[in-house]
Amino acid sequence: MNIENPAASPATRSVRPQHTGRWGQPRYEDTDAARKALRRLASGVTVLTVDGGAGARHGTTASSVVAVSREPLILGVCLRRTSTFTRLALAAGTFSVSVLAAGQGDVAGRFADPERPSGDAQFAGLAWTTDPLSGAPLLDGSLSHLSCRLLDRHQVGDHDLLLAEVTAGAHARDTPMLSFAGRLHTTACAGP
């Protein structure tokens, strides 16, 4: 359907979108422009944690976590194929998600830092409890916690898509942290 002129005949309809105004013309072959456009997709910020056993607890910051299904309750997580988290989660079969609240930017930064210590040292100085279902750390002060059982892994481009069933969860009333255009932001909203 031609949005600008719904009565236009099929022969006069344009096959390509005709953007005007502040966006300018789309550049279909420009992957750099597409990446910049995709960074405008706001997303929640999480820390994924896993108990790899023998002092190998591990955490990583992720903003590519999405609800995939309501029944059963399944979420998807995308991580680089070389991710230590993916390797440990595949071995453990379970992991946890801490959805970060506003004011936890230092926590997001810690688990995004490629130079952070490995194993349990990553969690030094942080308040956390052990997820009774996965054995992974649940970070105090987070907006919500999810316990997950890994179901499947798919290789997609240079990333792995992990699919997991959410087996338990808890939440608090607080303001979320968002990732937008490569930076952390907070909003004025707080959920019930």
How far is it, in rounded angstroms, from Cα 191 to Cα 146?
16
Pairing label, strands 144-156, 159-171: antiparallel
Q: What are the φ/ψ torsions at residue 110 (nearest 5 degrees)?
A: -60, -45
Pairing label, strands 43-44, 177-180: antiparallel
What residue has token string 């789309």?
A: 26
Mean predicted lDDT score pLDDT of the chain? 80
Residue range 72-100: mean pLDDT, rounded: 94
How far is it, in rounded angstroms, from Cα 104 to Cα 118?
20
pLDDT beyond 70 at 157? yes
Query: 57 - beta bridge partners?
Result: 51
From 3.40.50.620, 2.30.110.10, 3.90.1300.10, 1.10.3720.10, which CATH number describes the 46-180 domain? Answer: 2.30.110.10
pLDDT beyond 90 at 13? no
How far is it, in rounded angstroms, from Cα 25 to Cα 29?
12
Total residue count of the chain as it appears in this document: 192
How far is it, in rounded angstroms, from Cα 175 to Cα 167?
24
Pairing label, strands 46-51, 94-99: antiparallel
Residue range 119-139: mean pLDDT, rounded: 94
CA 172 to chain centre: 19
- Among the listed ranges 20-24, 97-101, 114-118, which one has the minimum average pLDDT value? 20-24
